[in-house]
Structure 1
Amino acid sequence: MKKHLLVTALTASLFLGNAAQAADYIVDTDGAHASIQFRVSHLGYSYVAGRFNDFKGDFSFDANKVADAKVNMVINTTSIDSNHAERDKHLRSADFLNTAKFPQATFTSTSVEDKGNGDFILNGNFTLNGVTKPLAISATTVGEGQDPWGGYRVGFTGTTEFALKDYDIKMDLGPASSHVKLDLVVEGIKQ
């Protein structure tokens, strides 16, 4: 009987230990350990690059069950910063992001494809300029562990690309400028 109880206790402990590994994280924007940068070809001659300075998000992640991860992000599109005030004003206009009407963009994950070795595809619904479309992000786990302040962190990088016209952005600067590329860095603090 004692042996049966010990086996049951060990089995329950292992099961509960595995279930407890999934954790909720807040994206560390306060410490500036996350970034959303964009790049668009300028007429095929060079690139306009910039970033969004104001965003927030949270996610659930377990390195042993990557396919169960969940992500939610909110981007303040008025915070667009291409290091040029007049261009940023134009990017906020109805020609591009229409921030007066749609001041936020959102991403909500729908599924994760674990590719192994820390690589995965994060699928979700991306809403920009009032339009919601599926978007896939190629992502890589950078690392995770204890931080010097007693917390626990995990970090990722990601890239994606989408056509501006898919999000009802009317400005047409030619075929070389039809897509935007996003480079993402996300570091989360375990809650």
Structure 2
Amino acid sequence: MKKITLSLAALALTSTPLLAADYVIDSKGAHASINFKIQHLGYSWLTGRFNNFDGEFSYDADKPEASSITVNIDPASIDSNHAERDKHLRSDDFLHVDKFKSAKFVSTKVQADDDGSLNLHGDLTLHGVTKPVVIEVEKVGEGQDPWGGYRVGFEGETTIALKDFGIDYDLGPASTHVELELHIEGVRQ
């Protein structure tokens, strides 16, 4: 009788679906990035990134719609590879980092598409304004890392209008929107 009970208990444990795992974004190991690009006068692209951010997410490959993510961004860490331009981007013409010391994305819903991609809905707070955005996301991969941990990575894109976030500095008609490109690798906790 004990063998049957133990066997049933073992079967029940092995057939129980795994719950979502929690991950920390590996920004310290530089395995994640938040990049942006915006048209410069319609002639070229200005590109850059935010160097300081952190966050965590929950993910279950069998039920991706139950996933969630929170990302905290230091807008003062903006880096367009040009010191004078970065100083201007930190000013009250753009990010006004003296007044708005943080930016944040908090997911509200995840929709899985038939092709395996995800639509990540959430609230982006930037320049003191919170607006809903949708980020198109694809999983890059997941598995064991060489150090005994487990990782999963995603990439995503979205476009935001500067005026939606109270940034109304006139950069010309070709420069009203910013494209955000996200590369996120998380380490399972």
1:57-136 superposed matches below 5 A: 57-136=55-134
Which residue number in structure 2 is paired with residue 155 of structure 1? Answer: 153
CA displacement at 1:43 relative to structure 2: 1.1
CA displacement at 1:8 relative to structure 2: 6.5
User: TM (normalized to structure 1)?
Assistant: 0.93
CA displacement at 1:33 relative to structure 2: 0.2
**Aligned alpha-carbon RMSD (Å):** 1.7
Distance 1:9 1:144 in 2: 27
Of stretches 1-10 and 142-151 in structure 1, the one that deviates more from structure 2 is 1-10
Distance 2:180 2:174 in 1: 16
Letter matched to residue 160 of structure 1: T
SS at match of 1:176: coil
CA displacement at 1:172 relative to structure 2: 1.5
CA displacement at 1:86 relative to structure 2: 0.6
Pick closer, same or farther for the CA change 1:151–1:8 going to 2, 3 Å: closer
Letter matched to residue 154 of structure 2: F
Letter matched to residue 163 of structure 2: K
Which residue number in structure 2 is paired with residue 55 of structure 1? Answer: 53
Letter matched to residue 68 of structure 2: K
User: TM (normalized to structure 2)?
Assistant: 0.94
CA deviation vs aligned residue, 1:100-151 (integer Å, no higher than 9, x gap):
1001110000000011443101000000000000010000000000000000
SS at match of 1:29: coil
Of stretches 117-126 and 99-108 in structure 1, the one that deviates more from structure 2 is 117-126
SS at match of 2:164: helix
Q: Identify the structure with the greater helix proportion.
A: 1
Distance 2:130 2:167 in 1: 13
What is the percent sequence identity of the aligned residues?
A: 56
CA displacement at 1:19 relative to structure 2: 3.5
Of stretches 1-10 and 75-84 in structure 1, the one that deviates more from structure 2 is 1-10
SS at match of 1:134: strand
SS at match of 1:94: coil
Which residue number in structure 1 is paired with residue 15 of structure 2? Answer: 14
SS at match of 1:175: coil
Which residue number in structure 1 is paired with residue 30 of structure 2? Answer: 32
